[in-house]
Chain A
Amino acid sequence: MEQRTAEPVATPDVQPAAWRTQSATILFVIMVVGLIVAPFFTYPLFLMQAMCFALFACAFNLLIGYVGLLSFGHALYFGWASYLAAHAAKIWHFSPELAILTGTATAAVLGLLAGALAIRRQGIYFAMITLALAQMMFFFALQAKFTGGEDGIQAVPRGFLFGLIDLRNEMAMYVVVLVIFLAGFLFIYRIIHSPFGEVLKAIRENEQRAISLGYKTDRYKLVAFVLSATLAGAAGATKAIVLQLASLTDVNWPMSGEVVLMNLVGGMGTIFGPVVGSFVILLMQYKLSIVGEWVLVIQGVIFVACVLLFRRGIIGELANKLRIKL
Chain B
Amino acid sequence: MFEIFGIPSNALFGQLLIGLINGSFYALLSLGLAVIFGMLNIINFSHGAQYMLGAFVAYLLLQYIGLGYWPALIVAPIIVGITGMIIERTMLQWLYKLDHLYGLLLTFGVALIFEGVTRNYFGSAGLPYVLPDSLRGGQNLGFMFLPNYRAWVIVASLTVCFGTWFVIERTRLGAYLRAATENPALVRAFGINVPRMITLTYGFGVALAAFAGVMAAPIYNVSPQMGSELIIVVFAVVVIGGMGSILGAIVTGFGLGGGEGLTKVFFPEASNTVIFVIMAIVLLVRPAGLFGRRA
Q: Taking beta carbons and an 8 Å cutoff, which residues of A are in contact with B?
A: 1-2, 5, 70, 72, 117, 120-125, 127-129, 131-133, 135-136, 139-140, 142-143, 253, 257, 260, 264, 292-304, 306-308, 311
Contact = CB atoms under 8 A, between A and B. Distances in A.
A293 B110 CA distance: 15
Contact of A304 (B106, B279, B284): B106
Contacts of A307: 95, 102, 105-106, 109
A303 B43 contact: no
Contact of A132 (B111, B117, B235): B235
B2 to A, nearest CB: 32
27 contacts: A1-B98, A121-B287, A124-B43, A128-B235, A132-B233, A133-B279, A135-B236, A136-B273, A139-B273, A253-B228, A253-B232, A260-B108, A264-B105, A296-B113, A297-B117, A300-B110, A300-B112, A300-B116, A301-B113, A303-B110, A304-B91, A304-B106, A304-B110, A307-B106, A308-B95, A308-B106, A311-B102
Contacts of A123: 100-101, 295
A124 B113 contact: no
B94 A308 contact: yes
B110 A131 contact: no
B287 A260 contact: no
A67 B201 CA distance: 32
B250 to A, nearest CB: 19
B276 interface: yes
Interface in B74-94: 91, 94
A70 B113 contact: no
Given A135-B232, A136-B273, A139-B273, A124 B100 contact: yes
B104 A296 contact: no
Q: Which of A1, A128, A260, A299 has the most CB of B within 10 A?
A: A128
* Chain A interface helix/strand/loop/mixed: helix
Given A127-B104, A128-B238, A300-B109, A117 B280 contact: yes
The 6 A-B pairs of least Cβ separation, nearest first, read A303-B109, A300-B112, A296-B116, A136-B276, A297-B116, A300-B113
A133 to B, nearest CB: 7
Contact of A129 (B106, B113, B283): B283
Interface string B102-126: 1011101111111111011000000
Contacts of B269: 143
B216 to A, nearest CB: 19
B248 to A, nearest CB: 14
Nearest to A291: B120
Interface in B253-295: 269, 272-273, 276-277, 279-280, 283-284, 287-288, 295
Given A123-B295, A124-B104, 7 more contacts: A124-B43, A135-B236, A296-B113, A299-B112, A299-B116, A303-B110, A311-B98
